Amino acid sequence: MDNGSADRSLALLSNEADVTVLESAAPYHVYENEMKGYLAQKYCMDRWCLCADIDELFDYPYSKEISLSHFLRYLQSRGFNAVITQMLDMFSELSFSELTSSPEDDLKEKYPYYDISQISKTPYNEHIMAHHGGIRSQIFGTQNGLTKVSLFRMDRQLVPFVHWHNASNAKIADVSCVLLHFPFVASFRDKVRDALATGRYGFLVDSEYAAYDRGLAESSELSLKLPSSHRLANVDELLARDFLVASEQYARLRLMPTNQHLEATEPRKAATSGD
């Protein structure tokens, strides 16, 4: 759904045969939840839906060994209709003044670092924690929520986008996923200035962008890479660092040959006996 973009989004999307483009003049910061809820209701009923921003890349534990189709089949076979996704801010070792960007950039290669040393956690449910803060808290002093229900199944019970990033009637999975977040590209400073000048993201986040602006103004050589930062090699390392979680039941999928995944994720039937 396009609400008045000024870049090449409409032209690019209109050339894709499998993309439907809707347009609205309504301000996104006022009607965000209604817009996303409408799209989910219209196009995702009885399907899995992933809601990710343009600067986010989705991944899940053991994705090198478990295909996406088998991952979704596992979720459905266990009766889950929602998955917690944790946002992980990614950045370069270069300062903002040194950064350059192009559409051909490999984001994972160019912005490979993350820092979870300042993430604070509160219980989301009995298995999964909600994350707050992180590198943005450490550098800019903001307290961003980092936990979303971004992957869900519209099963006629679940209601998505409750208070932006939660869902009602959600049966939360026993595995969490990651949204690799790439906001800190070369255009970040321009985005901050535009957000403050136009208020396009709404008053609820104006203070956040004001904090970014102050931090960028204080040092022209500002870099997010700290001694506590790590270079991301594989999403599975986030399990070892307690950023993501995966149950033993889910982890067993990766030890099975691909042709056994289907059998393992099918609901078990009660045994019967007879003549």
Query: pTM here?
Result: 0.89
Is the Cβ–Cβ distance between 132 and 120 less than 8 Å?
A: yes
Written in H, E and C, the secondary structure of 122-183 is: EECCCCCEEEEECHHHHHHCCCCECEEEEEEEECCCCEEEECCCEEECCCECCECEEEEECC
Query: How far is it, in rounded angstroms, from Cα 267 to Cα 210?
Result: 51
Specify the pLDDT at position 271: 34
Is the Cβ–Cβ distance between 253 and 66 less than 8 Å?
A: yes
Distance set, CA 223 to CA 91, 116, 220 (Å): 9, 16, 9
pLDDT in tens, 124-183: 999 999 999 999 999 999 989 999 999 999 999 999 999 889 999 999 999 999 999 999
Specify the pLDDT at position 54: 87
Query: Which residue has tokens 């943005």?
Result: 136
* pLDDT, mean of each 10-residue run, the chain (275 residues): 87 91 90 94 96 94 96 97 98 95 93 97 94 96 94 96 93 98 94 89 84 90 95 97 97 76 50 33
pLDDT in tens, 209-218: 999 999 999 8
Q: Which two tokens stand for residue 17?
A: 């045969």
